[in-house]
């Protein structure tokens, strides 16, 4: 009987794996989804398969008659589940396309793979967007090395807010700004998780070759802590930073168990579907808190002030680099939703340990404005304009700007540029 049970388990597993393989093949062939089914259908199918397979093994086993049979059933069921989870883990690693257009970089920490395309949806399905990366690794159309005759060239650098996470390429504020300006190119060089340290390297090695008239740096509140983290993998020549080796960081990280990630995605999905009320997440390690710069209890913390010194130092380096290459340097700063209104970004803020019904410190924006004033750098703070707006400029789960938010940012920057030209 034991042999029969084992053979039945083996046959059932083999049959379902063949079915899985065929579905994965179809899903990868039809990159937009098969018969209207989205790409992440594969992950959901795998989870359901694991559950059904486990039930299948338990149901086909004979009725429990004694403790020995009971133990055998439990052991067989456990071995079966481990086997399936192992294969599921291999399939998830093989089929995962979520970072297909990104890669680690030995110089810039991370970068986009040129001439690639991908589709991205956030777990709450607030948006589904397309990423088309050009030959220079930008989420933008192709640009010549030399600008068109009589054209003014602006390069926008920043993180995912600049990149346009949450909207299509042409709805990002750099592209909307370009459409408003006459004989002006606005190149979107935004990259998720960029910060002053990485932007300094990008400008130094790549962007100056494009001969821009203006570098428009869009400062994000997460930049300060990210700069400190990136410098852990910095490569120096004397005191000069020459690279941030993201590939070294990637090697140092433990192997990712994607089945756990999948279960976490499922949990998040259930929270969305059933509208389960959440409490703010607990922040157990302050050094891992990317947004501690807006928590009132840490504003005067010595470590936070030291972190700021690093970021401001690299902004000065960028300013000097721009002066050396006769490039106008402008800094835009903006707030996250929880710094403006107490109930915006209602669901997402909880995962970062922030309370609903409260607004948080604007200290980062004020520091940047003081810094710009002290160093004679043009600075534009978008925060007051977003504060006055009654439109839905932020998503509920994702922290980024909606289409409306990107449009508002483009209008604010356009108005500022028009005013400065008149002066």
Last residue within a domain, chosen from 95, 126, 144: 95
Q: Which domain holds residue 6?
A: 2-95
Q: How many whole angstroms separate alpha carbon 324 and alpha carbon 215?
A: 13
Domain shared by 265 and 365, yes or no: yes
Q: Where does a domain end: 95, 119, 147?
A: 95
Same domain, 312 and 352: yes
Strands of the sheet with 152-157, listed across from one edge: 184-188, 152-157, 214-219, 328-333, 378-381
41 shares a domain with 178: no
- What pLDDT is attached to residue 203? 98
Taking the CB of residue 417, how many other CB atoms lie within 10 A of it? 20
Residues 198 and 310 grouped into a single domain: yes
Left, alpha or beta for 33 (phi > 0: left; psi -120 to 50: alpha)? left
How far, rounded to the nearest angstrom, does the alpha carbon of residue 392 sit from its chain's CA centroid? Answer: 21
Q: Are 394 and 295 within one domain?
A: yes
- Both 126 and 58 in a single domain? no
3-state secondary structure of 185: strand
DSSP string, 349-375: HHHTT--TT-----HHHHHHHHHHHHT
Number of separate domains in the chain? 2
Domain boundary pick from 95, 111, 145:
95
Mean pLDDT in consecutive groups of 10 residues from the start of the chain, 423 residues:
57 56 46 39 58 58 55 64 72 60 93 93 87 96 90 97 97 98 96 97 97 97 93 95 92 69 65 66 70 81 81 98 97 97 91 91 96 98 97 95 98 94 65
State residue 88's pLDDT score. Answer: 72
Are residues 140 and 27 part of one domain?
no
Beta pairing partners, 128:
121
How far is 317 from 381, CA to CA, in rounded Å? 21
Per-residue pLDDT at 36? 36
Burial of 80 (0-12, 13-18, 19+ CB in 10 A): buried
CA 231 → CA 85, 200, 249, 304, 395, distances in Å?
Answer: 37, 12, 11, 15, 31
Residue 412 CB burial class (10 angstroms; 0-12, 13-18, ≥19): buried
Residues 89 and 135 in one domain: no
- Residue 14 and residue 156 in one domain: no
Q: Are residues 238 and 169 in the same domain?
A: yes
CA neighbor of 256 nearest in space, from 99, 117, 50, 49:
99
Beta bridge partners of 381: 333
User: What's the confidence (pLDDT) of residue 274?
Assistant: 63
Distance CA 157, CA 171 (A): 16
- Alpha carbons 323 and 195: distance in angstroms, whole number: 20
Question: What is the token pair recorded at 317?
Answer: 């380096």
| Co-location of 350 and 230 in the same domain | yes
Give the pLDDT confidence score for residue 39 in this predicted structure. Answer: 43
SS (H, E, C) 110-158: EEECCCCEEEEECCCCCCEEEEECCCCCCCCCCCCCCCCCCCEEEEEEC
Q: Which residues contact 61 (CB under 8 A, 6 or more apart)?
A: 5, 73, 76, 77
Q: Indicate if 10 and 132 belong to the same structural domain.
A: no
Q: What is the CATH number of the domain that holds 244?
A: 3.40.50.1110
């Amino acid at each position: 009987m034991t042999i029969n049970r084992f053979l039945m388990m083996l046959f059932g597993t083999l049959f379902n794996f063949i079915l899985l393989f065929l579905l994965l093949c179809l899903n990868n062939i039809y990159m937009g989804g098969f018969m209207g089914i989205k790409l992440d259908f594969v992950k959901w199918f795998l989870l359901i398969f694991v559950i059904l397979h486990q039930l299948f093994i338990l149901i086909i086993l004979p009725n429990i008659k004694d403790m020995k049979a009971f133990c055998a059933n439990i052991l067989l069921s456990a071995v079966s589940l481990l086997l399936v989870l192992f294969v599921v883990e291999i399939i998830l690693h093989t089929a995962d396309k979520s970072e297909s257009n990104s890669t680690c970089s030995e110089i810039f920490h991370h970068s986009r793979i040129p001439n690639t395309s991908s589709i991205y949806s956030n777990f709450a399905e607030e948006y589904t967007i397309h990423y088309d990366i050009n030959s220079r690794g930008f989420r933008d159309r192709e640009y010549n090395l030399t600008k068109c005759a009589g054209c003014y060239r602006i390069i926008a650098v920043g993180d995912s807010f600049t990149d346009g996470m949450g909207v299509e390429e042409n709805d990002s504020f750099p592209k909307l700004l370009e459409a408003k300006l006459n004989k002006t190119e606005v190149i979107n060089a935004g990259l998720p998780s960029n910060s002053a340290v990485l932007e300094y390297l990008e400008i130094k090695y790549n962007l100056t070759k494009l001969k821009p008239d203006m570098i428009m740096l869009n400062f994000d509140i997460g930049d300060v802590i990210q700069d400190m983290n990136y410098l852990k993998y910095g490569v120096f020549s004397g005191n000069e930073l020459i690279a941030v080796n993201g590939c070294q960081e990637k090697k140092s990280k433990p192997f990712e168990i994607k089945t756990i990630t999948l279960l976490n995605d499922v949990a998040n999905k259930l929270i969305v579907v059933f509208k389960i009320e959440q409490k703010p997440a607990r922040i157990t390690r302050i050094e891992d808190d990317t947004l501690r710069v807006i928590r009132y209890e840490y504003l005067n913390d010595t470590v936070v002030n030291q972190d700021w010194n690093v970021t401001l130092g690299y902004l000065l380096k960028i300013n000097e680099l721009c002066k050396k290459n006769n490039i106008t340097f402008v800094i835009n700063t903006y707030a996250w939703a929880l710094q403006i209104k107490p109930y915006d970004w209602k669901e997402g803020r909880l995962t970062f340990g922030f309370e609903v019904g409260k607004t948080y410190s604007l200290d980062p924006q004020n520091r940047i404005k003081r810094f710009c004033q002290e160093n004679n750098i043009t600075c534009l703070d978008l925060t007051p304009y977003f504060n006055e707006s009654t439109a839905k400029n932020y998503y509920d789960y994702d922290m980024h700007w909606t289409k409306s938010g990107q449009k508002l940012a483009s209008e604010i920057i356009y108005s500022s540029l028009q005013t400065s030209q008149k002066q």
